[in-house]
Structure 1
Amino acid sequence: MSQRPDSDQEMPLISHLTELRTRLLRIVAAILLLFAGLFYFSQDIYALVAAPLRAYLPEGATMIATGVASPFLTPFKLTMMVALFLSMPIILHQIWGFIAPGLYKHEKRIAVPLLVSSILLFYAGMAFAYFVVFPIMFGFFASVTPEGVEMMTDIGQYLDFVLTLFFAFGVAFEIPIATFLLIWVGIVDVETLRKSRPYVIVGCFVVGMLLTPPDVFSQTLLAVPMWMLFEVGLLCGSMVKRRDDEEAAAAEENDSSSNDQPPAAQP
């Protein structure tokens, strides 16, 4: 038998909207506070993000700013995105605080590890892109630059490019969470996903082709981790599903044994 949520008392719509507004304001305040604290270091932050490309620029070449306001707006935009990424734990905490009262206790036991894992996996995807993918990718681009062409990248275009890859790898590393949820909710079963493994592998390479530059190294560096993370999610989902089935079978057996016992004799 499923346990009921902690509170069965329904809140009026106005109370829900008021709480939602309060939590949204907290999220915005957290992002603005982080942005205010990081803005002084905006130039240093951009230099850090641009380091993987600058390491492969030809001797004497530099990055350029083609827009009038790009030297200010580009680090400004980057600092805002960094503040948003760093505030993800706060954002998810506020979302959790809003939806948690409506969840069952067994759902809460699963949801908390999922939230923590999703944050860590998103950051792991960004770190993988920065430390592994970027050096290989920019080294490849520098090696195929045509003769007579000097590699001088615009800072605004570079920022848009790396932000897209950061987001793509961060989302790609959420595959274990998505796979686990599909199994846990019951949308698909473990055997169906196992039989679909060849299609998943092909899909990973297609996504890698769409989200990364047109070179085989970048596509492989995204596709292979996606496939391995799918296997991790499949393993975790099968373990939790097996445990839930065992608990359900044990509960059913206890119910049947209690029903088979004869009633106590009347004195």
Structure 2
Amino acid sequence: MDNSPQHTLFDHLLELRDRILRMVLAVLIVFCSMVYFANDIYEYVSKPLLAVMPEGGQMIATDVASSFFAPFKLTMVLSLFVAMPYILYQVWAFIAPGLYQNEKRFVAPLLFGSSFLFYAGITFVYFVVFPLAFAFFTSVAPEGVNIATDISSYLNFVLKLFFAFGLAFEIPVIILLLCWTGFTDPQSLRAKRPYMIVGAFVIGMLLTPPDVISQTLLAVPMLLLFELGVFLAGIYQKKENEEDCSEEAKHE
């Protein structure tokens, strides 16, 4: 007889509410600890552009309150990024009771890997894409044009790229999930490689500003990460097949 407690839909909704509140609280705690340094954080994020600006170039604030709201907004988004591992842990803790033991072993590394890849995407765009893209933008300015970027426009630009590259770097995790659920398999993905190449450049065109450098710098890592995801999915499939054969051998 099963004596385990039976949870109703209302119980699950209460638990979901509690975990969402914990996520929000975690973001607020991180934000409160960082908001004092909001201007310093914005200055650090703006360094890639300021480093390549010509003599006399500077950033400006065209709106009355943008000098306050731009660093404030950046700090809030950064707080979400910093709290992401805890947020993913809360998601994991909510769904874990409904998973089998072998599924738990698979999902936990995926959550860790997704956090790492998201941070890797942000790091890549800051240290690789920004210096190249901003150097290109400032070098092609027409003669006599004084470069003075608005801080709100710059913030929207960098946040768009942060999210685009952070999500694009999740490709290996997405591929593993698709193969795990049986939606596809590594062999089918390898056969669709030419379409993936075209799709990577189309996505790069849609997610990045309309310049070839940003599009290429997003498309190429996406293709490499696609290959990594297919490789890892092949290892997972091989392991699953070996376990299935072992189980069949035990029953014979």
Q: What is residue 100 of structure 1 aligned with on the other side?
A: 96
SS of residue in 2 equivalent to 1:36: helix
Q: 1:8 to 1:233 in 2, by over 3 A?
A: farther
Q: What are the equivalent positions in structure 2 for 1:72-87 lying under 5 Å apart?
A: 72-87=68-83
Q: CA offset at residue 246 of structure 1?
A: 1.5
SS of residue in 2 equivalent to 1:153: strand
TM-score calculated relative to the size of structure 2: 0.96
Q: What is residue 143 of structure 1 aligned with on the other side?
A: 139
The answer for unaligned runs of 5 or more in structure 1 is: 1-6, 258-267
Per-residue CA deviation, residues 160-181 of structure 1 (Å, 9 max, x unaligned), is: 0100000000000000001111
The answer for unaligned runs of 5 or more in structure 2 is: none
- Computing the radius of gyration over CA atoms, which structure comes out larger, 1 or 2? 1
CA distance in 2, matches of 1:98, 1:188: 26
| 2:61–2:152 contact (8 Å) kept in structure 1 | yes
Q: CA offset at residue 37 of structure 1?
A: 0.5
Q: What is residue 203 of structure 1 aligned with on the other side?
A: 199
CA distance in 2, matches of 1:249, 1:169: 40
How many residue pairs match? The answer is 250
Q: Please, which of 17, 22, 34 is the counterpart of residue 21 of structure 1?
A: 17
Identity within the alignment, %: 56
Q: What is residue 165 of structure 1 aligned with on the other side?
A: 161
SS of residue in 1 equivalent to 2:143: coil
TM-score calculated relative to the size of structure 1: 0.91
| 1:183–1:238 contact (8 Å) kept in structure 2 | no
Q: 1:183 to 1:28 in 2, by over 3 A?
A: same
Q: What are the equivalent positions in structure 2 for 1:20-169 lying under 5 Å apart?
A: 20-169=16-165
Q: CA offset at residue 235 of structure 1?
A: 0.6
| 1:183–1:237 contact (8 Å) kept in structure 2 | yes
Q: What is residue 250 of structure 2 aligned with on the other side?
A: 254
CA distance in 1, matches of 2:147, 2:4: 63
Q: CA RMSD in A?
A: 1.2
CA distance in 1, matches of 2:26, 2:181: 32
Q: What is residue 171 of structure 2 aligned with on the other side?
A: 175
Letter in 1 for 2:240: D
